[in-house]
Amino acid sequence: YARGESIRMMLTHAKQPFEDNRIQMGDWGSMKNNTAMFEFGQMPMVELENGQRITQTKSILRSLGQKYGYYTSDPKEAWVIDSTMDATNEMFELFAIPILGFCPPEKKPALLFELLTKKLPTFLERMEKRVSGKKFVCGDRITCADFLLGGLLTNTLGNENNPHYYAFQHILKSYPAVSKYMENFVEANKEYLAKRPAA
C-alpha cells in the first residue's frame, strides 16, 4: 500500500464516491513526465469534479480534509496535525527504502536492521507519547493526520502479508498506546479495510 492509500481511506470514511485508478509500475515510466497530469512527476494525484488536478499526499489530505471536516482552524491543533503528518511522511520514506527495495540489494540488510532496531522504535516512542490517553491524534475526532499515521501503521506493522509482520508485532508490544491507537483506527476504517485488495 503506497501513498494514495491514506487518501482512499479518508474519502471512504467521508462517504465520498471516487474513481480509483491505480497505475502499474511498468506503465509509470512513460507517464510521470506528463506534468499536465502529474505536476511534480509523482503520485498520487486527485482530479476534482471541476477538472483541477491536485498532487502531493499531505497537501491533498489537508485540502480534502478542510473540505470534509478532517482538518482544523485552530493553530495549535493544526500544528499537531501537520507535525504528525511530517513525521509520518519521513517514516514512510524510511520504510520504502529497504522494504520496497529502493536501494542496492547489498545495502538492504543493514538498512532493514537500522529500521527495526533504531528508526522504527524511535518513531513509535514519540507517537506513543502523542496518542497516549487519546483515541486519535487530536482526541476523539479523526483528522487527516490519522489517515496518514494510522494508514502507515496499519499498512505495514499491522499487515499480515508483510514479510516483516512478526518482527513488527514484537516491536509493537513495547508501545501499548500505539497498539490501542491502531485498533481505534482499524475500527473507524473497517468499511474500507474489509474490501480493499490484499497487498
Q: What's the pLDDT tens digit per position in 20-30? A: 888 777 777 77
User: What mean pLDDT do residues 5-14 have?
Assistant: 95
Round to whole Å and give the CA distance between 86 and 192: 24
112-128 pLDDT, tens digit each? 889 889 999 999 999 99
Q: What is the pLDDT of residues 50-69, one digit of tens each?
A: 988 988 899 999 999 999 99
- With a cut of 90, say whether residue 111 has pLDDT above it: no
Q: Check residue 100 and give its pLDDT.
A: 66
Which of 183, 24, 187, 157 has its CA nearest to residue 88? 157
Torsion of CA 55, 60, 62, 68, to 10 degrees: 150
Helix (H, G, I), strand (E, B) or coil at 51: coil
User: How far is 163 from 159, CA to CA, in rounded Å?
Assistant: 9
pLDDT value of position 101:
64
What does the H/E/C string look like for 146-189? Answer: HHHHHHHHHHHHCCCCCCCHHHHHHHHCCCHHHHHHHHHHHHHC
Q: How confident is the model at residue 164 (pLDDT cuts 50, 70, 90)?
A: confident
Reduced DSSP (H G I as helix, E B as strand, rest coil) percent helix, strand, coil of the chain, to 5: 60, 5, 35
pLDDT of 172: 93
Confidence of residue 141 (pLDDT cuts 50, 70, 90): very high
Q: Quick one: cell of 93?
A: 520514506
Coil/strand/helix, residue 86? helix
Q: Are 123 and 116 in contact (CB under 8 A)?
A: no
